[in-house]
Amino acid sequence: MNRLVIDQGRLRAALAAQLGPVSEAMGETVAGFLREKLDRPGSGTHHPGLPNPSSAPGEYPAEQSGDLVRAIGHEAVDAFHQRAGALNSVAPVPVEAFALEFPSPPSSPVKRSTQHGARPWASKALLDSELRQWLREAVSKRGARLR
């Protein structure tokens, strides 16, 4: 009787060697996309005391201090998974990262209870068709090297 024995450790290592670079490319792509979208002035009102015009409703948040952009990066969780976004391992994540994404709770030190509300950036990116296109291209480029 013939038996197929699969060494799961070797199989996982072989898959990681092939798919790890694709996962890394996806993390790099998400971080690059977020940096590009968050590192620009908005097209909304230019409030006194701010270096750039604010974002208009529906736009990614406008860059003001640069703190959020400096915290954008990616890191490997394991050979198959990447974490991308505002990461304390890259730079201290400013409170604005959360305040922009979510309306402020009553105890928040940052108030976002304006008529325009929050300026989601992370959840907006999850649904962004442009990011999906960037990811398809990154996977296509990195995946082509697997053959």
Whether 84 shows a pLDDT value over 80: the answer reads yes
Whether 61 shows a pLDDT value over 60: the answer reads yes
Per-residue confidence (pLDDT) for residue 58, from 0 to 100: 85
Whether 147 shows a pLDDT value over 60: the answer reads no
CB-CB contact of 34 with 140 (8 Å): no
Over range 74-92, report the average pLDDT.
Answer: 94
Per-residue confidence (pLDDT) for residue 85, from 0 to 100: 95
Which structure tokens are listed for 4? 């197929």
Minimum mean pLDDT range among 29-38, 83-92, 116-125, 130-139: 116-125
Over range 118-139, report the average pLDDT.
Answer: 92
Over range 63-69, report the average pLDDT.
Answer: 92
Q: How far apart, in whole angstroms, are the C-alpha atoms of residue 7 and residue 66?
A: 48
